[in-house]
Chain A
Amino acid sequence: MILGDLLGTPVLDADGGRLGRVADVRFVLDGAPHQLMAEPRLLGLVVGPHSAASFMGYERNGLTRPYMIARILRWRHRGSFLVLWEDVAMVGARSVRLRPGFSRYSTALEDGAEA
């Protein structure tokens, strides 16, 4: 599938309740090794409850400058969370459904501070 189709898709919990939209898709470089780089494996989806897309990733890294832009963008992306691939029950054309009892994780990138 083409990843752009997944971005911005509404995310629903197992009961059909709306949680937000797919703001980003997280990959980890630990798949099958190739000659140059390993294959990026899908780790999970970053879900944003308030916005259709993420902009500049301030909610995921520890950056606080420029102060006003960081404050505004962090506020806009407040409540974002990461769901792992294991918790995704179905990817549809119009929505993504999660498994019952899915876990929310922080979207912070490892080299960034707690978002």
Chain B
Amino acid sequence: MTSAPAPLPKAPHVAGRILDAQLHLMDRQVLDHDGVPVTTVDDLEVSGPALDVEIARGTPPPVITALLTGSVLGTRIFGGRPPSSRLIRIPWKDVAEVGVVVRLGVKGEPLDASWVERWVRDKIIARIPGGRHDPR
């Protein structure tokens, strides 16, 4: 058994709140501003850096531009990820709060992320007798 290594120095203090992608964002549920579930965060899109290009000193750090979602069940099981064009983006400017869930500051209804739900409602549920009004 080896002795424990010396503790590492603390990272320089930063003013803003810290978010670890995997710990605080990935796989979190996304709710719209009425508290209605929209989707989950399957991945994140960042503004850089370019792959296999040397990063010059002083390059501004990349930022998160969008939350990504889509049909990822298959790739979760078998590996890889869907092509970027098949992922649905929720721009970061729509995000209002990150906590146990990610809250959006906009309504979920018009977002691309909920198109499957809208399609099922309009094409299938609405054709079932009684499917066009609230249950009583």
Taking Cβ atoms with an 8 Å cutoff, the residues of A that contact B are: 1-5, 7, 23-32, 34-44, 46, 53-54, 57, 60, 79, 81-82, 84-86, 88-93, 103-110, 114
Which chain B residues lie closer than 8 Å to A31 at the CB level? 63
What's the Cα separation between A92 and B94 when bound, in Å?
A: 30
Taking a contact as CB atoms closer than 8 A, the residue among A26, A36, A105 that contacts B18 in the complex is: A26
Which chain A residues lie closer than 8 Å to B19 at the CB level? 26-29, 40
- What is the number of contacts between chain A and chain B, taking CB atoms within 8 Å? 147
Q: Could you tell me the distance in whole angstroms from the C-beta of B53 to the nearest C-beta in chain A?
A: 7
Binding stretch for chain A, among B8-16, B113-121, B124-132: B8-16
Q: Are A24 and B44 in touch, CB under 8 angstroms?
A: no
Taking a contact as CB atoms closer than 8 A, the residue among B5, B57, B98 that contacts A86 in the complex is: B57
Q: Does B17 have its Cβ within 8 Å of any Cβ on chain A? A: yes
* Given the contacts A23-B22, A28-B14, A57-B23, A3 and B61 also touching, CB distance less than 8 Å: no
Q: Are A110 and B49 in touch, CB under 8 angstroms?
A: no
Q: Are A109 and B49 in touch, CB under 8 angstroms?
A: no
B23-59 interface bits toward A, Cβ cutoff 8 Å, 1 = contact, 0 = none:
1000000000000000000011110111111110100
Most chain A CB within a 10 A radius of its CB, from B13, B14, B22, B87:
B22
Which chain B residues lie closer than 8 Å to A105 at the CB level? 8-12
Q: Are A41 and B63 in touch, CB under 8 angstroms?
A: yes
Which chain B residues lie closer than 8 Å to A42 at the CB level? 46, 61-63
* Given the contacts A44-B11, A108-B10, A93 and B61 also touching, CB distance less than 8 Å: no
Taking a contact as CB atoms closer than 8 A, the residue among B20, B48, B84, B96 that contacts A36 in the complex is: B96
